[in-house]
Structure 1
């Protein structure tokens, strides 16, 4: 009881606070998303995401070098093809934009880990994450035929040099399909980072500008999770673990830290949190208006994800955060 117990004693000096800090954010916790587009010399800023760009492969390589020099261990690649179709050809073709970017990055920065987002929405003409029933305008994806496309895409990405496959379409059985496809093709050592608990969130808006992946009709609520559900997340991660997932993702992060915590408590696998585009854009907008201290808010937010249980954090703030962390 007071005055014997005085918790402020351990807050009295900056070095003492540092010594007893329970959660420490480092550059090794960060993964930087990049958007690859066809062409050369392309660097097109995403209007709703200040500081984020669609980049041609040559520019992706320069970004990869900068990321590695900052101490960030990994990037995740998203692709915007020059044409789209109902078979998502750009996702699995050996000349796909993610495949080209992955090969170029691994040649230029071999020690950098390259993760591929393994989904189809950026590559389908309708903007949904797989095959649709002919004439269906509800956005109801045909699950099992889509698994074949995801399997082809994952194998193609592995052949291109990708280090980690990250399926994000929330199809039932997608981890098992991808694992069996990778193993059959000889890629038994390639791990799967599953978007195990991906919610149908309003926070994805700016990303769809960046990836040009907005659905042409309907929505994605028939395959992404209801924001009101938490027990369902545990069911999803249990299924993905049983199918061979090596790591688990919770997306989004900011409004779902309770889910990050529950997933971490329920699993022994590494847990990733995706600090998504809407979360990023809100901070950027407030900072540009002078309403917040961007550095302090970003580092506090990223630390909170780690405190909630995240081992890895995918964030568009990664380069800025790494610079601030490196500066102490």
Structure 2
């Protein structure tokens, strides 16, 4: 018997055929830009380990968010860097704290054009750099931390945040915050559960970006990088507790987890292309080892292909403009 020749390359023959046959695409609306705003700055401060990324002043933050919205970026995720820190992270729920002030200003100016999102974690605000309140033995007290998260959530919701990014990895954080928001009438405020957040070696540049005071590590609450099933379990728990979206973080080293989470949950799944991933590509491109634009877009496409409905990336505005060309 003779069979027709099977030639898969027919689908790759020309650019228009490749475009028509492409299984995965990425659009500006799929991108979220993480941004840092620091109290007391007179001008934007470059972050040395993240070329092209800065700690913003309030004025430069407004301009950058407007630029992101103009490029079609779907959202911005705000991180506040306060001038003063203490053991309980008091600045996190202070209505006049840097993150809440920045949120109010942006929602008033661009809230109809882009989703204004806020990081909900204590690490930027504590003098010990951990994501929660410390017990007398130096460990992170899960339930005492939930009380602080609730206060922080209410402050951010009152400031007008559209979406709260629950990144602290405390047990029960989604349920506690959802109950508190609903009781105060903030039933429309979205919750993004950082469900599968791993204790990664690639967070280093971020710690410069927020001037982290951390000594030690976060391995008692962030996930062990060797655990795939545990990441899936955490995502299912967050979905059951009321998360509107769940997150896998980091992205590129955990694409297998991302795929499994996407297949298991019914809510949107996002992924965070973290600071170390950004820094690696920027460093390789600066040395002429890779094509920067091609590598950036390929990295984003791979995260989308693995199942991410949206990607947090420091290239969001730049990539959105490339995609719009």
Q: Residue 304 of structure 2 aligns with which residue?
A: 306
- CA shift, 1:189, in A, is 0.8
Please identify runs of 4+ aligned residues in structure 1 that moved more than 6 A: none
Q: Is the 8 A contact 2:194 2:248 kept in 1?
A: yes
Summarize deviations over 1:144-179 as a string: whole Å, max 9, x none: 010000000011001001000111000000001110
- CA shift, 1:3, in A, is 5.3
Q: Is the 8 A contact 2:40 2:83 kept in 1?
A: no
Pair 1:127-2:126 in alignment: no
- TM-score normalised by structure 2 residue count: 0.97
Please state whether the residue corresponding to 2:194 is helix, strand or coil: strand
- TM-score normalised by structure 1 residue count: 0.96
From 226, 229, 235, the counterpart of 1:228:
226
Q: Residue 100 of structure 1 aligns with which residue?
A: 101
Cα separation, 2, equivalents of 1:214 and 1:200: 17
Summarize deviations over 1:113-155 as a string: whole Å, max 9, x none: 111110000100100011112252xxx2000010000000011
Q: Residue 153 of structure 2 aligns with which residue?
A: 154
| Structure 1 segment 283-322 matched on structure 2, within 5 A | 283-322=281-320
Cα separation, 2, equivalents of 1:198 and 1:110: 28
- CA shift, 1:184, in A, is 1.3
Q: Is the 8 A contact 2:95 2:155 kept in 1?
A: yes
- CA shift, 1:259, in A, is 0.5
Gaps of 5+ in 2: none
Pair 1:38-2:39 in alignment: yes
Question: How many correspondences in the alignment?
Answer: 323
Pair 1:27-2:28 in alignment: yes
Please state whether the residue corresponding to 1:4 is helix, strand or coil: coil
Q: Is the 8 A contact 2:30 2:309 kept in 1?
A: yes
Q: Residue 50 of structure 2 aligns with which residue?
A: 49
Please state whether the residue corresponding to 1:292 is helix, strand or coil: coil
Gaps of 5+ in 1: none
Cα separation, 1, equivalents of 2:283 and 2:318: 16
Q: 1:251 to 1:2 in 2, by over 3 A?
A: farther
Cα separation, 1, equivalents of 2:318 and 2:174: 33
Q: Is the 8 A contact 2:269 2:308 kept in 1?
A: yes
Q: Residue 278 of structure 1 aligns with which residue?
A: 276
Cα separation, 2, equivalents of 1:237 and 1:307: 19
